[in-house]
Structure 1
Amino acid sequence: MSEQPGPIDPEEPARRPRGRSARARAHLEEQSGSAEAYVMYFKERVYATFTGLAIVLVVAANDHADPEHALFALVLGVLGITAAGFVSDVISHLAVHQTFPVGSDLRVLLRVAGGALSTVITPGILILLAWLSVMPLDAALRASSIVYIVTLGVIGWFAVRWSRLTWAKQLLVLGILIALGFAVIALQTLAHSI
């Protein structure tokens, strides 16, 4: 099988996802003038999602976990990885462009950080509901884990689906991404549980 052909005309855009992801991409590309901002946006969301999932799994494994601790651990953990990503992007910009990011460059970095922070919203609400005794903590943590796993699965599926690989190679790449995802989850869970 041959690979799916790319655009024949270099001016013709490659096929892209539609919906919220497409709007985020268009907005970031408009602000920065390149697709690299969209790459940064997805990268930070993946980092924050893996971090949130690891924290939720570690808290769920703790027999004496309480909702207050779970919520603060999740929010602070995701906030920490987001802040680290933002500082890393600022330092990288400074090193490459020899100026502090301002204007549209700074807006792109803040939007990327905002995307990473948004990964805590649904799991945070679920754990807050456990804190308010609306639902049991174990159910909130289980649901949060599912939210994070589905998020990673959807991101991986879209990344592979919109590639120009044949369906067999897409399946292989998706399998590799899933295996690597499990390895990352295992390492982060181990690191947070020590």
Structure 2
Amino acid sequence: MSRRSERRERRRRRRDQLTPDQRADRLKERVYVTFAALAVVLALRGHVEGLTPGQAATTLVITVGGTLLAVFLADLVSHVVAHNHLPTRAEGRHMVGVISSAGGVVVLPLVFLWVAASGAWTTAGALTAATYALVASLGLVGYVAVRRAAIPTWQKWLLLLAEVVLGMAVVALEVLAHG
């Protein structure tokens, strides 16, 4: 078995060991951070004149990084309030896993901005591609969330549709706000 296959298998085993609440935490924060990244990308797109790919990437990384730290702090404080003690090592690992998983949403937008920095795309083109990728990511996260759910298929499709429609509504509102 190759190293890549071994790593994939270890990740799958770790994922399978998560409780339903832990899986829900990861999905919830990934959706939240995706919407935050989408808002930033759309705001940058609305003010793209004179914006370099590096500036756009820096803004995106700082904003998403700040959001992830806020999520971590909120989880930490709410845990202490609910349980009257600091998280155990396992609970702390879970909290870090949640934010690191959610941080993955910016990878593709950063790749697009890197392509723009190389001169192959414009900054506006990279931000447009990032918008589509983030909305598609919402659909993918929704699919991952409902694929094993014990609900009728039509409800699964309805949930996926609702998530993508809400993503597109965020795009429309941001475009309206930033004209």
Which TM-score band (shorter chain)?
0.7 to 0.9
- Equivalent residue, structure 1, for 2:4: none
Does the CA contact (< 8 Å) of 2:72 and 2:96 recur in 1?
yes
Q: Deviations over 1:138-192 (max 9, x none)?
A: 22112212221111111112323332222333333333333333344455x3798
1:157 maps onto 2:143 in alignment: yes
Does the CA contact (< 8 Å) of 1:56 and 1:145 recur in 2?
yes
Corresponding residue SS for 1:135: coil
1:174 maps onto 2:164 in alignment: no
1:122 maps onto 2:108 in alignment: yes
Does the CA contact (< 8 Å) of 1:94 and 1:100 recur in 2?
yes
The residue type equivalent to 2:37 in the other structure is G
With over 3 angstroms needed to count, the CA separation of the structure-2 counterparts of 1:109 and 1:54, relative to structure 1, is same
| Separation of aligned partners in 2, 1:135 and 1:22 | 36
Matches within 5 A, 1:2-151: 22-23=12-13, 25-27=15-17, 29=18, 34-64=19-49, 65-151=51-137
The residue type equivalent to 2:130 in the other structure is S
With over 3 angstroms needed to count, the CA separation of the structure-2 counterparts of 1:183 and 1:70, relative to structure 1, is same
Normalised to the residue count of structure 2, the TM-score between the two structures is: 0.80
| Separation of aligned partners in 1, 2:56 and 2:46 | 11
Corresponding residue SS for 1:142: helix
Q: Deviations over 1:96-126 (max 9, x none)?
A: 1111123111111111111111211221122
Does the CA contact (< 8 Å) of 2:135 and 2:167 recur in 1?
no
The alpha-carbon deviation at position 131 of structure 1 amounts to: 2.6
Normalised to the residue count of structure 1, the TM-score between the two structures is: 0.75
With over 3 angstroms needed to count, the CA separation of the structure-2 counterparts of 1:36 and 1:91, relative to structure 1, is same
Q: What's the RMSD between the two structures over aligned residues?
A: 2.7
| Separation of aligned partners in 1, 2:124 and 2:170 | 23
Unpaired runs of 5+ residues, structure 2, are 1-8
With over 3 angstroms needed to count, the CA separation of the structure-2 counterparts of 1:120 and 1:174, relative to structure 1, is closer
Does the CA contact (< 8 Å) of 1:55 and 1:192 recur in 2?
no
Structure number with the higher helix fraction is 2
The alpha-carbon deviation at position 22 of structure 1 amounts to: 5.0
With over 3 angstroms needed to count, the CA separation of the structure-2 counterparts of 1:184 and 1:134, relative to structure 1, is closer
% identity of equivalent residues: 29
Q: Would you say how many aligned residue pairs link Structure 1 and Structure 2? A: 170
Unpaired runs of 5+ residues, structure 1, are 1-18
Moved more, 146-155 or 177-186: 177-186
